[in-house]
Chain A
Amino acid sequence: MEFSYEVKDSYAEVKAEGRLNMVSAPKLREFVTGVIANGSNRIVVNLENTAFMDSSGLGALIGCLKAARQAGGDLRIAAVQPQVKMVLQLTSMDKVLTAYGSAEEAFSND
């Protein structure tokens, strides 16, 4: 899985491309922790090119959400694909990790 990020006006967009599984989950956690340490506490994880997520990947997203909130901000997810949406719904975590249609929409009403 490949990660990249870009600081926008009111948030930092993290792009995750590939499979978010037990191998890449700790790397996502480390990457987002670094983004927060660089001064961004409003994070959007763009999952447009994340075709797969398992419970390890979900756990990493929850860990990143907690880290963003501890830094006084928030973490939101965007452009969720069908398999990721299914895992969020089956674990009832779609209520905790709200999915937005695009990265731009995630913090647009704040």
Chain B
Amino acid sequence: MSILEITEVKELYNLMSEPRVTIALDNNYQIETRDVFQAKLNSLLSENYAPLLIAVLGEIGNNSFDHNLGSWRDLVGIYFRTIKQRNDTLILIADRGQGLKATLGRILPEISSDLEAIKIAFTKVISGRSPEQRGNGLKFVTKIIQKNHWELFFQSGHASAVIQDTVLSFENSANCIFGCLAIIKVSKIGGN
């Protein structure tokens, strides 16, 4: 079964496809501030999640706060949820922020599409928060996910990035995600 066919993922994907949202999917998983997100990461550490996995989740979640504080599209903060399945764990992170194209477009106005934006975000070192010098979060995420044979689905606007079997690929999507949606699948939460 593909990640996007899982019920909880489908619900989140559908919500993220709505141009305007007024109610969070589930307030138990909606995190409005970075402090609360940091506390969630601390609790994952006590649940023996691997340091590298927490680092990856921290990069993705904190990116949302870094780039959207004060400019959320509607819902404030991020949706953050872990789902344990029979053999795997899924981690869902979503924000109703400006999305990659608008964020990167502030410093690279020549970006013409969501696909171009997501390729740059995942492969080129650049910061979406000028004048900060580096924006290496998603490159770090890619490297760690590939190295550990985890899976990633990431969509912003009409473009998605997928890492499966260590291969990073990009494609256009007919559906639009308003903000960013990341889904990580790991077979083992502990270890490195």
Q: Do A and B come from one complex?
A: no
Binding site for B on A (CB under 8 A): none
B→A interface (CB under 8 Å): none
